[in-house]
Amino acid sequence: MTMRLFKLLLILIIPCLFYTACKVSYSFTGGTLSPEVKTFSVQYFPNRASLVNPDLSNKLTEDLKEIFRKQTSLDEITNGGVGHLNFEGEITGYNVQAMDIKAGEIAATNRLTITIKVRFSNEIEPEYDFDKSFSDFYEYDSSNQLSDIEETAVADILERIIDKIYNESVVNW
């Protein structure tokens, strides 16, 4: 009797193992890309903001490429080529605004805000294409000059914006 039960279990378990072992998909922190998606490309993001940080375009472009290099197995298409996933756009905002006005009309903090317009296309699954703006900010004490905190602020803001872009394009949040 136990030998028949053992054979029956083998007959049921072996196909299940083959079925689960043969399923192919890419998983990215809770999202899934089609297995046909093999490449990505990031075009240069020009700075069209009224206030220009001269390093921002390069930093944004390279940091966006870097997240895909590190967190996916996709191949990067360079030199202006277009991958299955393609990112292009521009920096549309780089603003400093006074916040928390105290008595005597003095700001307690300032806020640096960066806005990036992104056009994303997914050649394999075009229903995930988007054209939208992503924005984030960094608040700092008004006793500091922008130049004193700018490098740290820009890195912090870009990290959050790039996470948003990544999640919107790959994780589909």
Each residue's pLDDT tens digit, 26-83: 444 445 678 899 999 999 999 999 999 999 999 999 999 999 999 999 999 988 889 9
Q: What's the whole-model pTM score?
A: 0.78
- Is 16 a domain residue? no
Question: Angle 56-71/146-166 helices, nearest 10 degrees?
Answer: 40
pLDDT at 99: 87
Interatomic CA distance for residues 147 and 116, integer angstroms? 21
Domain annotation covers residue 66: yes
Residue 24 lies in a domain: no
CATH assignment of the domain containing 49:
3.30.160.150
pLDDT of residue 101: 76
What is the rounded distance in angstroms from the CA atom of residue 136 to the CA atom of residue 160?
7
Range of the domain at 88: 37-171
Count the domains in the chain: 1
The CA distance from 94 to 59, in Å, is: 14
Which helix (H) or strand (E) is 149 found in, with range? Answer: helix 146-166
Q: Name the band, by pLDDT with cuts 50, 70 and 90, for residue 103.
A: low
User: Using one digit for the tens of pLDDT, what is the confidence trace for 110-159?
Assistant: 999 999 999 999 999 999 999 999 999 999 998 899 999 999 999 999 99
113: in domain: yes
